[in-house]
């Protein structure tokens, strides 16, 4: 059986992305400046970018009968192994509105509802890292119970939908946690702690938007600046960051270098209309050589 570097579990979705000048008040409206459809889902975004960066990657998720043929073709072209289970629901969809600085998302769970009833594939369980996206606690607990892989967790905007006891259980078995500064605040307040590592994760990666990120590991705090990029669309940047970090991690790079790789990949995503821009691992390393002091 093929050993995968990284297995991504969670959602695969179709994103409908709108750029607006500003957010309207309730019972009002706003003009859409630009509109596009793209292929997303946190787990899928991360898996695709890991594959682009050369990591042996697989994904397990649920899709509807309406899943776009073009999306399936993209997965095949990347040689991204997938276990996509057909659901009776329509494919998960996200409706995103961004004014360039802030983003508002409406989420249709659809096929993702069935993630809780599927069993993790053996190839998932035997991967080096299992990356779990969003609030799929049922399959997360199955993976924790059955796998010896390192657990990576990116709860994203599903964080506040997870019951405290279940969230605590998952965090206790998490090796690498990806959060943003708002999610960090939520966790520290919920669990009354100043150090999220006390909850279980060995490595806590907190993204700070244009300020870069901080990584806490072995009681050491590392700050890595963001790679400058002309903002086109922030959608998928966090998932790209996780993909870069994890790919560096399975290649045994130091933690700081992993964060730099994540920042490089995220910068390319931010400067693109695509949530899955074409970037190789060598490209990411070239970005690092240009920006970071070696």
pLDDT given at position 209: 84
Confidence of residue 2 (pLDDT cuts 50, 70, 90): low
Span 253-268, pLDDT tens digits: 999 999 999 999 998 8
265 is a domain residue: yes
Q: Which residues pair with 153 in a beta bridge?
A: 132, 177
30 is a domain residue: no
Say which residues have a Cβ less than 8 Å from residue 286's Cβ, sequence separation at least 6: none
158 is a domain residue: yes
Backbone angles phi, psi at 283, to 5 degrees: -60, -45
For 61, the domain range is 6-13+41-93+114-291
**What CATH number is attached to the domain comprising 270?**
3.40.1190.20
Whether 179 has a pLDDT exceeding 80, the answer reads: yes
Q: Which of 105, 162, 156, 106 is nearest to 139 (CA)?
A: 162
Confidence of residue 83 (pLDDT cuts 50, 70, 90): confident
What's the mean pLDDT in 6-27?
A: 92
103 is a domain residue: no
34 is a domain residue: no
Q: How far is CA 4 from the centre of its chain?
A: 18
pLDDT given at position 274: 72
**Residue 158: other Cβ atoms inside 10 A:** 19
How many domains does the chain contain in total? 1
Q: Which residues pair with 61 in a beta bridge?
A: 84
109 is a domain residue: no
79 is a domain residue: yes
1 is a domain residue: no
User: What is the chain's Cα-based Rg?
Assistant: 18
C-alpha–C-alpha distance, residues 145 and 49, integer Å = 27
How many residues comprise the chain?
A: 294
C-alpha–C-alpha distance, residues 157 and 43, integer Å = 13
Confidence of residue 215 (pLDDT cuts 50, 70, 90): very high
Residue 117 structure tokens: 């009833």
């Amino acid at each position: 059986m093929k050993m995968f570097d990284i297995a991504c579990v969670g959602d695969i979705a179709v994103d409908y992305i709108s750029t607006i000048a500003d957010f309207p008040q309730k019972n009002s409206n706003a003009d859409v400046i630009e509109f596009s459809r793209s292929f997303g889902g946190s787990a899928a975004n991360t898996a695709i970018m890991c594959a682009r960066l050369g990591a042996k990657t697989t994904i397990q998720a649920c899709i509807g009968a309406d899943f776009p043929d073009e999306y399936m073709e993209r997965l095949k072209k990347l040689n991204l192994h997938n276990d996509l289970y057909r659901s009776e629901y329509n494919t998960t969809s996200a409706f995103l509105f961004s004014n360039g600085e802030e983003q508002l998302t409406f989420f249709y769970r659809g096929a993702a509802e069935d993630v809780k009833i599927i069993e993790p594939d053996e190839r998932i369980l035997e991967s080096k890292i299992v990356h779990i996206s969003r609030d799929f606690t049922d399959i997360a607990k199955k993976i924790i119970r059955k796998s010896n892989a390192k657990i990576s967790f990116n709860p994203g905007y599903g964080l506040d939908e997870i019951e405290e006891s279940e969230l605590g259980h998952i965090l206790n078995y998490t090796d690498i946690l990806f959060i943003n500064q708002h999610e960090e605040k939520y966790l520290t307040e919920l669990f009354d702690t100043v150090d999220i590592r006390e909850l279980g994760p060995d490595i806590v990666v907190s993204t700070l938007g244009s300020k870069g990120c901080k990584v806490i590991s072995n009681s050491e705090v590392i700050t890595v600046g963001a790679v400058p990029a002309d903002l086109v669309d922030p959608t998928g940047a966090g998932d790209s960051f996780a993909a870069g970090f994890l790919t560096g991690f399975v290649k045994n790079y130091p933690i700081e270098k992993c964060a730099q790789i994540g920042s490089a990949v995220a910068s390319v995503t931010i400067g693109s209309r695509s949530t899955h821009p074409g970037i190789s691992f060598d490209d990411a390393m070239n970005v690092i050589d240009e920006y970071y002091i070696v």
